Structure 1
Amino acid sequence: MATDPVAEAADALYALVPEEFTAARNERVADARAAGDTEAAKAIGALRRPSPSAWIVNRLARDEPDRVGDLVGLGGELADAQAAGDGRALGALVAERRELIGHLVRLASGLADAAGRSPSRAVLDEVEQTLVAASVSADAGAAVASGWLVRAIRAVGVEVDLAGAVGGGEPGPPRRLGKRPAAERADTRARRGEGRADAASRGAARPPDADRAAETARRERERLVEARRQARERADDDEQALAEASARFDAAERRFDDLETERDELERRLSQVRDELRPAERELRIATRAREAAAAEASRSARARDEAESALDDVDR
């Protein structure tokens, strides 16, 4: 369990729904200031509210750590298969990742529904992109597993931009993605091998016109592949536009949070000044009356002095 006050605050805050984040963060900032820990107060005040998709991934990392760990570990196997040029293993692992991510997205949707925050399709798409990134980059996997995400992350090839993605600072140094035990990997691949063998056995009994059907299926597949390529290009363009809009949103949200924190600080200072103003007003009234009394007394003394000097002058004359 974390003992650092900033880490404890981050653990607690990133478990909350986004709507509750700012008020809870400001309360912890006030507590840290009251305890005299200005450094922690500043660090906690810098924690940013998570986007809806980041909050869902944080919940997933907390409620389903084993499945998230499986996904992160699968990334290490994908990297090894790609480095070794093992196309068969790579294809099987990609299929397994697709199935695991689909399952995690369904779990994420259920977790959000249970919290009364039913996600939109766009939010679930960001969840899926983030999970894909967690299987591509070791740092992204660590960021997702931390449960402190602030925004969705997206892999472009093998590159993942994590700047400002994790509350409380950037992820630690790169770590090699974990892997599943060898026995588990072998069992999974053996099951796939049996499936391929069954398919081959069924194919041996094809009817005579199977070749024509296979050619038709091949052409249809080529058509679908081309359609998929075009759809992916359109999706990439749309995702780029979404990323730019998300960046503008994040900047606006950071500005809003900063101003909100500044407003809270000014309101606290205003309350303090008001408390100090009341006794100062009383002191001012007392001092005003004392000055007026002193002025009257000084005026009387001056008149008495003038009269005495005038009487003396008359005697001298």
Structure 2
Amino acid sequence: MSELDDVADELYAGSPADFIARRTAAVKVARADKDRELADAIAELRKPTVSAWLVNLLVRDDPAMAGQIVALGEGLRDAERSLDGPALRELSSQRRQLVRSLVARARRLAQPAGQKIGDTVAQELDATLTAALADPAVAREVLSGRLTAAREYAGFGSADAAEGTPPPAPPKAQKAPKEPKESKEPSPPAARGKLRLVGESERAEPKETAADRERRRREEREQRARDEAQAAWEQADRAAAEARRRHEAAVEARDESAAEVARAEERAARAHGEEDDLVRELAEVRRRLAAAGKAATVADKDVAGAQQTLRADDKDVAVAERELHRAERARDAAEAARDGK
């Protein structure tokens, strides 16, 4: 498995809510590794719709689901090709039961992610699973685990038969040619004798005529089957042509949208890069601001301590000055007494 496969599996396994953010992060990692080709390939991965995400969840949750879809889809197509009505009805019932159970399981799987599943999403999921059972190409998309959008079967076959859509009306069978009237010419004596021996009923319907009639009925049934098959093929061909037209229009619109998304993502990547740079600068400024704040707090404490010390020293100076004044006065008095003044 390639590195792109690993990234794609990880992206499509997650919730669609943060798909863009996770894809952008993966693109950044690839660009940081100087792998431009991988980065471009990751950027082209489309965000899945909610219904497509549910399909991907189902595929990852139950490995046996792939075998169920492939086996039941092949059984439905085989029953249609063989015009096996009872088998087709039974398999169609199994198809409905399987789709209902998968939709219910998808609802349960979505609960841990907090994703609400409305009627529209449930209908898209139902249509996608039904299309996978009718069309092997859709089945391959579904079972890849990387579906990006809902699918709908637009052809003629399993899905239509399963829902009870009546097949196109068969063309009217041509009337069988009338049997030639029995000749009124008298039979030769030998023939008349033979007819009298075999009886009246065989004279009215000889064995060869009954075989011809049975062969004609068989050919008429085969012709009706061919006509019905031709009508079905023509309808399927028209549906396929319309589907191709819609597909080509959708692909063109998708490609334009993809190009616009790529341009928008490039702009977003540049903006995120600038944002990252500014965040780093802001973090550095905040770090320096915090350090300066701590230093200012320490300085303020030092100032308060120095001021307290200064006030104590001022008191000591005042006391010393008073003592000095008293000592000087005492000295002056002693000097005056000594001099007899």
- With normalisation by structure 1, the TM-score equals 0.54
User: Structure 2: 5+ residue runs without aligned partners?
Assistant: 159-242, 279-341
What SS is found at the alignment partner of 1:155? coil
The answer (yes or no) to whether the contact 1:105–1:124 under 8 Å persists in 2 is: yes
CA contact (8 A) 1:67 1:104 kept: no
Q: How many residues align?
A: 189
Tell me how far 1:112 sits from its aligned partner.
1.2
Give distance in 2, aligned partners of 1:255 and 1:117. 29
Query: Aligned letter for 1:100?
Result: L
Q: By how many angstroms is 1:134 displaced?
A: 0.7
**Is contact 2:24-2:269 (8 Å) kept?**
no
**1:130 Cα deviation (Å)?**
0.4
What corresponds to 1:290 in structure 2? Answer: none
Tell me by how many angstroms 1:35 deviates.
Answer: 1.2
Equivalent in the alignment of 2:266 = 262
User: Which runs of 5 or more structure 1 residues have no equivalent in the other structure?
Assistant: 161-239, 275-317
Other-structure match for 1:40: 38
User: CA-atom RMSD, angstroms?
Assistant: 3.1
* Aligned residue number for residue 89 of structure 2: 91
> 2:14 & 2:263 partners in 1: Cα distance?
21
CA distance in 1, matches of 2:260, 2:111: 27
Structure 1 position 147, deviation (Å): 0.6
- The answer to whether the 8 A contact 2:77-2:157 is kept is no
- Flag the structure with larger Rg: 2
- Render the CA deviation track for 1:204-227: whole Å, top value 9, x for unaligned: xxxxxxxxxxxxxxxxxxxxxxxx
Who is 1:77 aligned against? Answer: 75
Which runs of structure 1 show a deviation greater than 4 angstroms over 4 or more consecutive aligned residues? Answer: 247-256, 268-274
Alignment-mate amino acid for residue 266 of structure 2: E
- When residues 253 and 128 of structure 1 are mapped into structure 2, their CA distance, relative to the original with a 3 A threshold, is farther
Contact 1:10 1:148 in 2 (8 A): yes
SS in 2 for 1:60: helix
Q: Which residue of 1 aligns with 2:197?
A: none
**1:252 Cα offset (Å):** 9.1
Q: Write the deviation string for residues 290-311 of structure 1: whole angstroms up to 9, x where unpaired.
A: xxxxxxxxxxxxxxxxxxxxxx
* Matching residue within 118, 128, 131 for 1:130: 128
C-alpha spacing 1:43/1:128, structure 2 compared with 1 (3 Å): same
**Aligned counterpart in structure 1 of residue 19 of structure 2, from 21, 25, 38:** 21
Amino acid at match of 1:266: R
Q: How does 1:200-215 map to 2 (within 5 A)?
A: none
Opposite residue 80 of structure 1, the aligned amino acid is D
Query: Could you tell me which of 99, 102, 120 is aligned with 1:101?
Result: 99
Residue 257 of structure 1 deviates from its aligned partner by 3.5
Offset of residue 253 of structure 1: 6.7
Amino acid across the alignment from 1:40: L
Residue 179 of structure 2 corresponds to none
1:128-277 aligned within 5 A: 128-158=126-156, 254=258, 257-267=261-271
Q: Percent identity?
A: 35
* Shift, 1:74, TM fit: 0.4
Asked if the contact 1:54–1:152 (Cα under 8 Å) also holds between the matched residues in 2, the reply is yes
Please give the alpha-carbon distance, in whole angstroms, between the structure 2 residues aligned to 1:134 and 1:44: 26
How many Å apart are 1:156 and its aligned residue? 0.9
Deviations 1:87-137 (A, max 9, x none): 110111001111111111110111112321021100010000000011011
Q: 1:22, 1:49 within 8 Å by CA — same for their partners in 2?
A: yes
| Equivalent residue letter for 1:262 | E
Conserved? CA contact 2:107–2:117, under 8 Å: yes
Alignment of 1:9 with 2:7, yes or no, is yes
Secondary structure at the aligned position of 1:156 is classed as coil
Shift of 1:66: 1.0
The 3 A distance-change label for structure 1 pair 249 and 115 is farther
Letter in 1 for 2:269: E
Asked if 2 retains the 8 angstrom alpha-carbon contact of 1:71 and 1:135, the reply is yes
User: Which amino acid in the other structure matches residue 120 of structure 1?
Assistant: G
- Residue in 1 that maps onto 2:222: none
Q: Who is 2:292 aligned against?
A: none
